[in-house]
Amino acid sequence: MSLIPGSVSLRDVLDVLLVAFLVYQGYLLVVGTRAVNVLRGIVVFAAVWAAAELLGLTTLSYLLGRAGTVGLFALVVLFQPELRAALERVGRPRGRETGPSGAALQDLARALERLAERKTGALIAIERRTPLGEYAATGVQIDAVISVPFLEALFARNAPLHDGGVIVQGSRVVAAGCLFPLQPGDGTYRRYGTRHRAAIGLSEVTDAVVLVASEERGSMRVALAGRLGPDLNGTELREQLRALLYDRPVLGDLPFARRAEAPEPGRAPGSEGGGSA
Ligand SMILES: Nc1ncnc2c1ncn2[C@@H]1O[C@H](COP(=O)(O)OP(=O)(O)OP(=O)(O)O)[C@@H](O)[C@H]1O
């Protein structure tokens, strides 16, 4: 059906709206990831290519055309983790997840607080909609109610499962000693050690809320959607967990998303890279 006979049809409008929607969703998927810089590079590359075409610079335009084809394949290889995360986000079920109960959440926060106070490193992933089974499989399966003493015992320095991350499903601890995917340590996060980068890495490829207690600094932080928040005190941690697990904010609403990019207090760049376990 034409709106103006012979010109724009309703189908055309729908077509343009759908393309705009897809472009916007694509932008949301890459914003905040290292792919943004590459995207800028691609835009510059395309602009130079278009200019070469317009000006009739045949050799340059031929070379850029060839490089573009090869570059497309290189991008798929280079950004395999980001592509995987993006597809996972697209296919993520929209229903409600069963998060930890109020009491379990209090215990999680209290345990992290106590571990941080004693400078015991800890890494805890709270499952939301994305199943964390494949990461749980890298560790030791357990099935225990969340409690402060249990979590403290798990991360105690000489405990057999203190290395790696713990996974929480609902109000239960389901695995410990798990290996999470490491954020590559580029860009904003190059100065962070592996515990923090494992938290960021897992939060990048899943929708898990990941808690970190730092052994070196005795600080507590939350990673979500590939970003690491700032140091939190106990009250802030509880508030943030409640907001993330019960109020369901979207990424743009995260209070810590931007503050996190500031350098860590009292830390020279590069000083966190090789901490101990
Ligand atoms: N891929 C991973 N998945 C889960 N845990 C990991 C992973 N890589 C490292 N860890 C944990 O992080 C510990 C090393 O932390 P490291 O000191 O390098 O990091 P950090 O971010 O500086 O943390 P901290 O501030 O606690 O020292 C390891 O002993 C292990 O427990």
| pLDDT of residue 92 exceeding 60 | yes
CA atoms of 217 and 267, how far apart (whole Å): 10
Kindly state the average pLDDT of the residues 2-21.
81
Taking the chain, what is the end-to-end CA distance rounded to the nearest angstrom?
Answer: 66
Distances (CA, A) of 5 to 8, 11, 17, 144, 222: 8, 13, 20, 68, 56
Region of poorest pLDDT, from 51-65, 141-155, 259-273:
259-273
Predicted confidence band of residue 63 (pLDDT cuts 50, 70, 90) = very high
Q: Which of 179, 180, 194 to mutate to test the pocket of ligand 1 (most atoms within 8 A of CB)?
A: 194
Predicted confidence band of residue 95 (pLDDT cuts 50, 70, 90) = low
| pLDDT of residue 254 exceeding 70 | no
pTM reported for the whole predicted model: 0.68
User: Distance, CA 194 to ligand 1 centroid (Å)?
Assistant: 4
Burial 192-202 (b: 16+ CB within 10 A, else e): bbbbbbbbbbb
Which residue's C-alpha comes closest to atom 5 of ligand 1?
164
User: Distance, CA 109 to ligand 1 centroid (Å)?
Assistant: 19
| pLDDT of residue 252 exceeding 50 | no
Atom of ligand 1 nearest to the CA of 201: 1
Among residues 114, 126, 94, the alpha carbon closest in space to that of 241 is found at 126
CA 81 to mean position of chain CA atoms: 11
Q: Is the CB of 176 under 6 A from ligand 1?
A: no
ipTM of the predicted assembly exceeds 0.95: yes
- What residues contact 150, with CB distance under 8 A and at least 6 apart? 144, 173
For 100-131, write each residue's pLDDT tens digit.
Answer: 888 999 999 999 999 999 999 999 999 998 88
Which residue's C-alpha comes closest to atom 28 of ligand 1?
277
Which residue's C-alpha comes closest to atom 16 of ligand 1?
275
| pLDDT of residue 267 exceeding 60 | no
What domains, with CATH codes, occur in the chain? 2-90 (no CATH), 102-258 (3.40.1700.10)
Atom of ligand 1 nearest to the CA of 212: 26
CA atoms of 158 and 223, how far apart (whole Å): 26
Q: Is the CB of 121 under 6 A from ligand 1?
A: yes
| pLDDT of residue 269 exceeding 50 | no
DSSP 46-99: HHHHHHHHHTT-HHHHHHHHHHHHHHHHHHHHHTHHHHHHHHHHHT---S----
